[in-house]
Structure 1
Amino acid sequence: MMQGNGVSGKAGGKNLLDLVSGYLKYWYLFVLGVIICIGLAYLYLRYKAVPQYQVNSTLLIKDKDNGEGASDLKSFGELGLIKPSRNIKDEIGILRSAGLMEKVIKNLDLQVSYYLPGKFDEVEVYKEDLPIQLNPADSAFNPGTTLGIRLKDNQSFELKEINEDESGKFSVYQYGETINKPYGTFTVERNTDVSTSKIEGMMLIRFQAVENLADFYTSKLVVEPVNETGSLLSISFLDHLPKRGKDIMNKLIEVYTEKSLDYRNELAMNTIDMIDERLALLTNELTSVEENVENYKQRNELTNVSSDAELYLKRASEANSQLAAYQTQIDVLNSLESYLQQNGDNAPLVPSSLSIEDPTLVNLISRLNELQLRKRSLLRTTPDDNPLVVEIDQQLTDLRTNALENLKNIKESLLIAQRNLRQDSRRYQSQVRKVPAAERQLLAINREQSTNQDLYLYLLQKREEEALSLAAPISNIRIVDAPRAGGIPVSPNKTSVYLGALIFGLFLPFSVVYAKERINDKIQSRADIEEYTNAPVLGEIAHNKEKEILVAKEEKNTPVAELFRLIRFNLKFVSAGRKNKIILITSGSQGEGKTFFSINLGSSLAISGKKVVVLSFDLRAPKLMKDVGLSDKFGITNYLIDDELEVKDIITPSPEIEGLYFIGSGAIPPNPGELMLSEKIESLLKELEQNFDYVLIDSAPIGKVADAFALAPFADSTIYVVRQNYTKKAELKTVEDIFENNKVNRPMVVLNGTKSKEAYSYGYGYGQKANVKAKNPAGA
């Protein structure tokens, strides 16, 4: 594959420069598209576009999840048993709800829209800027109704219902008069603050469905949190009437706040009712529990379980101590009894120091011990039968009998007291044993009583809190930034519109050119050739705007002539020292300019000092001699069928270019295909090769007949001519087949009929480059 000096092969498709240059050819379409689209954008912004103004506001909504702050005290808004949720996402949904917007629309009477006649279209005006105000008497006004009003004077006006065909008659009414119509009842009031001097023509009043308006306005409402963690909400609303937009946002916040307070109040009222019902039940339960406590204490002889238990334990302990004391006294009495029962001279003295507190017994024992001592004293000096001793014995017997009787009485009283005390002790022990069960049962009763009492007090407190929240209707919503409308429209964005128009103005012709290029199956540029075939491109020839065929003359410097000089140089460069005298020139079909190319290539070679002959081998449709203005009476056909005719007899010199010769085809034969197989063709070409520097064969189209293939073995190289915007891209498959299968010697492609500026600029630049590379440019 040969490349360089204007001869190039397949490059794998178009590069970016080729694509750009291909579209730049249609620069005027891009300019026209931009101008038209920019103009349309200007007209749209000037007469059609409705400027939209943005209304902004900021709300602070206390979120129940955000904590209580530094203080533990609760505000009035936080009092109550049940507190409403304040989740930010839920509040956003409420603000953007259709029901809330419907209430705003009804409060502001936005279902009634007013329009004034404009230059190109009707203009909507907010009702406060109008000289009249329509007040529907009820909400049953028929949506979709359109009324036309013409102002007459300060007392009256004309009104009619506008149908689809705008028919109907005007009727005169007075301001403030009640108007009854099938579609609704209403009055029209005069707004004296607005002048009627600038209002001309018929005003339009339209009644729209509240539901549709709510959906429309809600779609233009944007509510979003200012940050992810806070409770600030940013609210924005778009409207082409900034005053109306501001009123809508103010009313929306007002209605939202009212709804929030109504919900809280309703919740508080329901809570109070529920608490009252519960308090009534708790009162009955508390009374019942208190009666149970009273009855239980009475049954169990309890006042206070803990103190009673201590008292029983104390009494039981005291009883045990007293029992022990009684038993000690009884034991002492038993001991005394044993002493008193001993009788005789050796009877021991009765102890008197024991803990006997009875004075009679103590006195008897003391007297008994004295007489006993007195008797012992007498017996030491007196015998037993002494009357004194006998008397003392008698006294001792009486005293001992009295003491024993007294001791027996004391002992019986102690035993009786001991039995009674033992019964009391058992009773105290029984009471002590019953204390845990009584305490447990009483604790359960007290627990129920305490629970009900705490709940009763809690509900009383919450009821007071709910009552306070009703008395102090404080909202959890605070307006941080009041609704404010911007003074500059945010939509439509002029910069965006003009930029879009510019892009569309470029895209539209781009699409047209792209579609044209895709639909067009003709060769448009050198890149198309390089995309479809690997055969080298010898060069390009500009479109010939002149009437004459021979344009490659020495004195001419036209783009066509210069490009033929470049082709001449490329031929020499492609040869690279190899033989290249016989050149076959063909094409895919008629009309692609192979004859024109053959004539002017021969002229360009002849001007450089070469001797050139051009043969008209298109025996089926010869044009060569006619194009150069020479006779075609004798030619190749005559030479091939007449053995006496010599080569020199059919050669005709060019009357204009020295060194340039032509051989016509002669008479059109009936069998050109068989004639092309004649052996004389080889002798003709060999003789011409010996006598000329270049032999150019203008053959028949190779894509239609096989004549050119018959000449191919004799040619040193082959030039395949294609024509811009004429030759189909599919025909290049033939060229590729020839090149890949070596059906001809050194095939090359020439693009004919290109635009002169492109071809000349390219060719001229390439020619300069080639001259630098060539070692011997004399041939050029």
Structure 2
Amino acid sequence: MATKSVSSYVPYQVIEPATPNIQAHLLPYLRSWPWYLLCLSLALTGGYVYLLYKQPIYRIQASLMLQDEKKGNTQTNPLKELDVYTPKKVIENELEVLHSSTLMSRVVETLHLEARYYRNTKYGKREIYSQSPIVVLIEEGNEDLYKKPLEITFLGDKAVSVNGRRIPLNQSVWTPYGKLRLLTRKPVSASTEPLVVEVMPRTAAVNSYLGKLKAEPTSKTSTVVHLTLDDAVPEKGEAVLNQLINEYNLAAVADKNKVASSTMKFINERLRIVQGELASVEKNVESYKANQGITDLSEQSKSFLQTTQQNDAQLNQVKIRLASLNNLEEFISQQADKRGSTPATIGLDDPVLLGQISKLSELELERDQLAQTTPEENPIIQSIDKKIQATKNNIRQNVRTMKSMLTSSREHYVAENQKLEKVIRTIPQQERSLMDKTRQQTIKNDLYTYLLQKREEMAVTFAASIADTRTIDAAESSSGPIKPVPVVIYALFGLVGLLIPTATIAGKTAMNTRVMRRGDVEGITQVPILGEVMSKRQRDVLVVAPNSRSVIAEQIRSIRTNLHIGRNEINDSQVMLFTSSISGEGKSFLAQNLGASLALLRQPTVILEMDLRMPKLHQVFNVDNSVGISNFLNDEASLADILKPIPGYPNYFLIPSGPLPPDPSELLSGPKLKELIQGLRENFRYVIVDAPPIGIVTDAQLIAPYADATLFVVRHGVTPKNCLKILNTLHLEQRFQNLNIILNAVGGSDAYHFNNNYKNSYSYK
């Protein structure tokens, strides 16, 4: 038979394939569903264990109503009109005060929250509060106290063991951790469960609770503040919120009392002076009447006396006001840097001046409250300082104006007194002297009475001072824990359980450079796929045999059938070249089994062991390799000498490679190869050539012109993807006749692209 002419090469540029479809990407994940199920089960189990060992967190809430000057004054106290100064609260500032370190530090100190008490359970440590039989008081702690927990074991009702050191109860004792005192809350004994106590610095404890505390108004128009605290021990959280509200109220009352105390001090000083003056005047009147024997005055004297008394009373009021103005001016000038005190305003009734004094006190208290939580450089404090200075300047100006007016009034009353004195001189000397002394007595007595009244008013105000707040709801914990939420925990752990295999498969896929599925081949090369052979861990050398019904045998028969499609001259011989990209892809296995399948058609078939570098077929068929193809190409043997029958397979022959030549490529390039192929065409229906891989040597390309069809073997998990690009280039350049691909070792849902429907109808061995 005549051989076909060698095809000419057509250069072609490699084109990158399109992106694979979604189904091809999902196949590796769908095939790994057992791993997903296993990871999801382990993750949910981990979530269950986490919930068992994680101590639940409860939410504690309380409500507090504040008096806010922006939203009206709700005070209904009947003694309200007695207040000299009643500060108004801005709710935004009060929220900062409630969240201040100063208040929380008092709470921590009062409740001894530097120490946390734990009890070991089968699910780990669990924090307790009032259930702790002892309280650890830190009188003087050192650094070692905060580094290591204190493991306390009860030795009886008199002593305990702290990290192996015996310490008596209810006594101040120096220990390696500082000076401690362990107080008992309830009777203890050697059978009392051990405790673990963790101690933290005061600042750390304060910051810890401030971090968990939330203070916010219920709405923009409401003065009700909602306090929230999350803690593992509901009872402790309730105690913290209740004590915080109590400390806030005490601080508010202290601010009020500070103002009242300053006014009381001024009144008491004035009373002491007036009381001495009144006693002296009364003694003079008494002595004068006794010495002069005076019992009554005339009606005319009484009239002058009344007039004089009225004028003196008015003059005295002017002097009191001047004294108050001098005190106020001294306070503004000399005590400008002393905050927390308020000047006395006795006798001053000017609403503008009183309003400015009240405004000054409000600004100073507001600044003191902000200074607890805000640094001095803050623009808000600097703005308040400017307002304070401006208010003081306005007060000074008003004081000077009022002093000028009162000085004029005083001079007027003094002049009026001088006129009255001239009239009184006409009265007898005794009566005039008595009138003068009695007048002084009345003036001092009225002043003394006025100061006593004001002192009683301030005393009542001081005693009635209460906080401008009302507790709407005392601290109360939630009925159940808010964290951890089982549904959320299971969802998170389940998500992790799904992400682990997904990430593993995605990472493996991203790092993979081998062909793993049919889509990898179809997406890179245009070479048609002739058939597929499934993967099997243990495969016989020849799986195709008479009466063989295995899946692999049927897949090879399917390839055999596909080889006949499109052939018109069925009596012509056919030369089939088997090759691959690298070694280990199974081309020899497929070549020998396809040859066996063709031989079972009772057609003479021969397989050539054309891999002259690493021959293996002669070992598989247990055939002598002393004489073979290398001898024929060297013109050392005839075709009859190298043709070997395969035992057990009639019509199936093997031509071994023969001794390994030093120059296989040169032998294949000689004229003897053409002679060999032509001789085999005349004697055999099918000629199968097992050639070396094309990615390693050029032997397959030298044999390609003599083959009618080239079968390129691609093995899943072995063939590199970049080799498919080279194969596509060879196909487009037409270097191989009728180039087709056979997929070997196909696994999972990629298996039997042609034969998977058979499995539902037929059974295989």
Query: Which category of TM-score, normalised to the shorter sequence, fits these structures?
Result: 0.5 to 0.7
State which of 47, 56, 73 in structure 2 corresponds to 1:51.
Answer: 56
1:253 positional shift:
1.7
* More off after superposition, 614-623 vs 213-222: 614-623
Structure 2 equivalent of residue 86 of structure 1: 90
1:150 positional shift:
3.7
Of all paired residues, the percent bearing the same amino acid is 27
SS in 1 for 2:620: helix
1:655 positional shift:
4.0
Structure 1 equivalent of residue 381 of structure 2: none
Structure 1 equivalent of residue 344 of structure 2: 276
Amino acid at match of 1:625: H
* More off after superposition, 243-252 vs 16-25: 16-25
For the pair 1:764 / 2:755, whether they are aligned, the reply is yes
Structure 2 equivalent of residue 34 of structure 1: 40
For the pair 1:601 / 2:583, whether they are aligned, the reply is no
Structure 1 equivalent of residue 476 of structure 2: 484
> Distance between the aligned counterparts of 2:81 and 2:188, measured in 1?
48
SS in 1 for 2:344: helix
Amino acid at match of 2:696: K
Would the aligned equivalents of 1:13 and 1:527 in 2 still touch at CA under 8 Å? no
Would the aligned equivalents of 2:36 and 2:497 in 1 still touch at CA under 8 Å? yes
For the pair 1:629 / 2:635, whether they are aligned, the reply is no
Structure 2 equivalent of residue 158 of structure 1: 160
State which of 607, 620, 624 in structure 2 corresponds to 1:614.
Answer: 607
Structure 2 equivalent of residue 254 of structure 1: 246
Give the TM-score taking structure 2 as reference length. 0.66
1:726 positional shift:
2.8
**Cα shift readout 1:671-690 (whole Å, capped 9, x = no counterpart):** 32111122243344345445
Structure 1 equivalent of residue 530 of structure 2: 538
Would the aligned equivalents of 1:76 and 1:474 in 2 still touch at CA under 8 Å? no
> Distance between the aligned counterparts of 1:274 and 1:547, measured in 2?
104
1:595 positional shift:
0.9
Q: How has the CA–CA distance of structure 1 residues 627 and 77 changed in structure 2, closer, same or farther, with 3 Å as cutoff?
A: farther
SS in 1 for 2:70: helix
Would the aligned equivalents of 1:586 and 1:594 in 2 still touch at CA under 8 Å? yes
Structure 2 equivalent of residue 529 of structure 1: 521
> Distance between the aligned counterparts of 1:766 and 1:271, measured in 2?
104
Give the TM-score taking structure 1 as reference length. 0.65
For the pair 1:170 / 2:166, whether they are aligned, the reply is yes
Instruction: Describe how 1:692-731 pairs up with structure 2 within 5 A.
Output: 692-731=684-723
For the pair 1:100 / 2:103, whether they are aligned, the reply is yes
State which of 268, 272, 288 in structure 1 corresponds to 2:407.
Answer: 288
SS in 1 for 2:740: strand
Structure 1 equivalent of residue 219 of structure 2: 227
Would the aligned equivalents of 1:622 and 1:665 in 2 still touch at CA under 8 Å? yes
Instruction: Describe how 1:185-584 pairs up with structure 2 within 5 A.
Output: 185=179, 187-192=181-186, 199-200=192-193, 202-266=194-258, 274=342, 276=344, 284-290=403-409, 470=462, 472-546=464-538, 548-573=540-565, 581-584=574-577
> Distance between the aligned counterparts of 1:257 and 1:695, measured in 2?
105
Amino acid at match of 1:613: V
1:727 positional shift:
3.0
1:471 positional shift:
5.2
**Cα shift readout 1:546-570 (whole Å, capped 9, x = no counterpart):** 4531112342222211222333344
SS in 1 for 2:756: helix
**Cα shift readout 1:119-174 (whole Å, capped 9, x = no counterpart):** 47544321x213333455x5x444652655443444x12344x4xxxxx5425x3x
1:107 positional shift:
1.0
Would the aligned equivalents of 1:51 and 1:489 in 2 still touch at CA under 8 Å? yes
Q: How has the CA–CA distance of structure 1 residues 189 and 67 changed in structure 2, closer, same or farther, with 3 Å as cutoff?
A: closer
SS in 2 for 1:116: strand
> Distance between the aligned counterparts of 2:105 and 2:564, measured in 1?
89
1:507 positional shift:
2.3
Would the aligned equivalents of 2:586 and 2:715 in 1 still touch at CA under 8 Å? yes
SS in 2 for 1:233: strand
Q: Which consecutive unaligned segments of at least 5 residues does structure 2 have?
A: 1-14, 265-340, 349-398, 417-453, 761-765
**Cα shift readout 1:423-471 (whole Å, capped 9, x = no counterpart):** xxxxxxxxxxxxxxxxxxxxxxxxxxxxxxxxxxxxxxx9999998755
Would the aligned equivalents of 1:80 and 1:463 in 2 still touch at CA under 8 Å? no
> Distance between the aligned counterparts of 1:285 and 1:596, measured in 2?
124
State which of 647, 656, 664 in structure 1 corresponds to 2:656.
Answer: 664
1:600 positional shift:
1.3
> Distance between the aligned counterparts of 2:415 and 2:604, measured in 1?
149
Give me the CA root mean square deviation: 4.2
1:474 positional shift:
4.3
Q: Which consecutive unaligned segments of at least 5 residues does structure 1 have?
A: 1-8, 163-167, 298-461, 770-780
1:701 positional shift:
1.5
SS in 1 for 2:490: helix
Structure 2 equivalent of residue 111 of structure 1: 114
SS in 1 for 2:743: strand
Amino acid at match of 1:114: Y
> Distance between the aligned counterparts of 2:456 and 2:79, measured in 1?
14
> Distance between the aligned counterparts of 2:345 and 2:108, measured in 1?
41
> Distance between the aligned counterparts of 1:533 and 1:608, measured in 2?
33
**Cα shift readout 1:306-332 (whole Å, capped 9, x = no counterpart):** xxxxxxxxxxxxxxxxxxxxxxxxxxx
Would the aligned equivalents of 1:150 and 1:157 in 2 still touch at CA under 8 Å? no
> Distance between the aligned counterparts of 1:158 and 1:195, measured in 2?
10
1:511 positional shift:
3.0
Structure 2 equivalent of residue 447 of structure 1: none
> Distance between the aligned counterparts of 1:465 and 1:197, measured in 2?
61
Amino acid at match of 2:252: S
SS in 2 for 1:480: strand
> Distance between the aligned counterparts of 2:457 and 2:465, measured in 1?
12
**Cα shift readout 1:404-439 (whole Å, capped 9, x = no counterpart):** xxxxxxxxxxxxxxxxxxxxxxxxxxxxxxxxxxxx
1:265 positional shift:
4.5
Task: Determine which structure has more spread, i.e. the larger CA radius of gyration.
Answer: 1
> Distance between the aligned counterparts of 2:455 and 2:21, measured in 1?
85
Structure 2 equivalent of residue 305 of structure 1: none
Would the aligned equivalents of 1:144 and 1:207 in 2 still touch at CA under 8 Å? no
> Distance between the aligned counterparts of 1:182 and 1:637, measured in 2?
92
1:596 positional shift:
0.7
SS in 2 for 1:50: coil
Structure 2 equivalent of residue 60 of structure 1: 65
Would the aligned equivalents of 2:67 and 2:73 in 1 still touch at CA under 8 Å? no
How many residues get paired? Answer: 580
Instruction: Describe how 1:686-697 pairs up with structure 2 within 5 A.
Output: 686-689=678-681, 692-697=684-689
> Distance between the aligned counterparts of 2:243 and 2:573, measured in 1?
95
* More off after superposition, 281-290 vs 623-632: 281-290
State which of 18, 23, 40 in structure 1 corresponds to 2:24.
Answer: 18
For the pair 1:585 / 2:590, whether they are aligned, the reply is no
1:191 positional shift:
3.1
Would the aligned equivalents of 1:144 and 1:206 in 2 still touch at CA under 8 Å? no
SS in 2 for 1:670: coil
Structure 1 equivalent of residue 336 of structure 2: none
Would the aligned equivalents of 1:80 and 1:465 in 2 still touch at CA under 8 Å? no
